[in-house]
């Protein structure tokens, strides 16, 4: 099977962990060990997030006052290279030496008229106290928003429209490369009236971009790997139930919050609707069972209503 695996942020950095290279390396090593379990007999395409890394690089970049801070799309490209390198190296240590692995910087087209540019909503970078957030917002003109009891910078999160460089991506996949691509939701790019490309000061949702990628490369299965074993209704309550199987429309009808499971459900539903194939949200630790159809929340056009675990 051709499988797209979208790694959640916890695969790179657990909440509250210092953003050291050592911590990220250890988390990537663990994630790659899990991915290697489904290497045999499958074509693997891996995507990942980069929010904290972009934020850290922006702060480091801004510390050098001789030049203005680099745009967010450029910082995003830098972090995608760094994270892709770690994934590629650790994965090469986990799969047979005969495997070929490639990391690709992926430009994803967005619409400059997308209303998201008027309402920044995507958290990036580290968390701050209220006092720190107010100070940074005043100094840098960033938009800050609450994140539990802390604050984070938020930027525009436009919808992904298309993927540039799709042909070389497909060539690598067709030649049985493990491909690491679409990092951070891809590098947001827009096109002017003259057909010229420009980077956008934005972050594309990783799961929505991964769903588009999975659709355009005709993946057989789309897996959103996170730190929970699926999508739950009544989460945190005694009556909570995990959704085992649902149609795209039934899953969307639950109205999951945009700050938690919402984008994952939307991404899974997008893929299932566009392809007629299955998308699964579940724990990376359950990856073998997910691929076997025995774990996670599966969104499928072949489902009938909703089934609970």
Active site residues: 9-10, 122, 206, 264
Which residues is 279 bridged to in the sheet? Answer: 222, 299
Tell which phi-psi region holds residue 124, choosing left (phi > 0), alpha (psi between -120 and 50) or beta.
beta
Task: Choose among 14, 78, 111, 94: nearest CA to 46.
Answer: 94
**What letter would DSSP give residue 259?**
T
**Tokens at 147, concatenated:** 């994140």
Which helix (H) or strand (E) element contains residue 85?
helix 72-92
Dihedral sign of CA atoms 284, 285, 287, 292 in order: negative
**Tokens at 209, concatenated:** 């971009």
Q: Please return the burial class of 302, using the count of CB atoms within 10 Å of its CB with bins 0-12, 13-18 and 19+.
A: exposed
């Amino acid at each position: 099977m051709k499988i797209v695996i979208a790694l959640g942020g916890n695969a790179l950095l657990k909440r509250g962990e210092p953003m050291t290279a050592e911590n990220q390396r250890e988390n990537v090593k663990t994630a790659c060990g899990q991915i290697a379990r489904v290497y045999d007999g499958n074509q693997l395409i891996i995507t990942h997030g980069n929010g904290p890394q972009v934020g850290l690089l922006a702060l480091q970049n801004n510390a050098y006052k001789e030049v203005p801070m680099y745009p967010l799309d450029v910082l995003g490209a830098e972090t995608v290279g760094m994270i892709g390198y770690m994934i590629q190296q650790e994965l090469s240590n986990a799969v047979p030496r005969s495997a070929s692995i490639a990391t690709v910087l992926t430009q994803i087209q967005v619409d400059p008229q997308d209303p998201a540019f008027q309402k920044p909503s995507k958290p990036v970078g580290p968390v701050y106290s209220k006092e720190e957030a107010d100070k940074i917002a005043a100094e840098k003109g960033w938009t800050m928003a609450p994140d539990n009891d802390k604050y984070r910078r938020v930027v525009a999160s436009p919808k992904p429209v298309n993927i540039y460089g799709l042909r070389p991506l497909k060539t690598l996949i067709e030649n049985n490369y493990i491909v690491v691509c679409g990092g951070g939701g891809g590098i947001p790019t827009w096109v002017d009236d003259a057909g010229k490309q420009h980077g956008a000061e934005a972050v594309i949702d990783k799961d929505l971009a991964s769903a588009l990628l999975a659709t355009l490369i005709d993946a057989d299965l789309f897996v959103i790997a996170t730190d929970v074993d699926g999508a739950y209704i009544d989460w945190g309550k005694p009556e909570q139930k995990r959704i085992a199987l649902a149609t795209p429309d039934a899953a969307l009808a639950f109205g999951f919050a945009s700050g938690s499971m919402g984008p994952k459900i939307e991404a899974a539903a997008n893929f299932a609707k566009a392809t007629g194939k299955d998308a699964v949200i579940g724990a990376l630790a359950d990856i073998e069972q997910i691929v076997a159809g025995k774990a996670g929340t599966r969104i499928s056009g072949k489902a009938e209503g909703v089934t609970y675990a």
